[in-house]
Amino acid sequence: MLEFNSKEEPLTIHPEDLEEKPESRFKKVFIILLALFLIIIFLIYVIATAGNNFLAGLIESSKVKENQIDFSLNGKIIFENNSLKELQELWIINPEKEFKVCLQGEIRENHYYINNLYIPTIFSQSSNQVRAEPCSEESLIDLHSHPFRHCIPSEQDIETFKQFRERQPAALMVIMCEEKRFTVYEGV
């Protein structure tokens, strides 16, 4: 124990005062649990914000199977005349940039048979945006790509689709977010 003399004598330190007292087991467990709790809260925040679009996009999107995409209970997009292969080639040659394509064909019993595609005039492309002429009224689908597995449309995508839908009421918007993964929007 430290002693102090009121006559201002030097301070005396005893060897037992220098010994470290072990921290309580409760305190160690509490600190570890608190650290784990904070890490979990941080991870939940990261997943809920940054990963939310990624996970939601994977849930909302569909993989193409046998040249078809099922997009509703009885709706399908059926690619004919190598149109799917052409789209996949565009995906492969544009890994760093979004692109836009207009798909044409016919609708029979809520099935969109796609037999032609064209690329409208593109004004600018980047990794997260493409600015291009709108698809013609003869087009059934306004398709554009997004970065790998980011399949959720932006507000601008939805606004552009609304404008296209005014000219072509049966139109669909499709986002290509992998070589074989698409998200289909029927209406907004």
- Contact in structure between 58 and 149 (CB atoms under 8 Å): yes
**Could you tell me the residue range of the domain that residue 51 belongs to?**
1-60
CA-based nearest residue to 162, from 188, 129, 136: 188
> Would you write out the chain's pLDDT as a tens digit for each of its 188 residues?
555 555 566 666 666 666 666 667 888 888 888 889 888 887 776 656 555 555 666 567 778 899 988 887 788 999 999 999 999 999 999 888 999 999 999 999 989 999 999 999 999 988 888 999 999 999 999 999 988 888 888 888 899 999 999 999 999 999 998 899 898 988 75
Q: Which two tokens stand for residue 183?
A: 């998200």
Q: 54 with 99, same domain?
A: no
Same domain (yes/no): 50, 116: no
Say if residue 92 is in the same domain as residue 49.
no
Same domain, 31 and 55: yes
The residue assigned the tokens 């945006």 is: 129
52 with 72, same domain: the answer is: no
Q: In the chain, how many domains are there?
A: 2
Q: Strand pairing partners for 106? A: 113
Whether pTM > 0.75 for this model: the answer is no
Whether 93 contacts 103, CB under 8 Å: no
Same domain, 30 and 77: no
pLDDT of residue 59: 63
Q: What are phi and psi of 79, to 5 degrees?
A: -85, 125
The domain that holds 100 is classified in CATH as 3.40.140.10
Whether residues 53 and 129 fall in one domain:
no
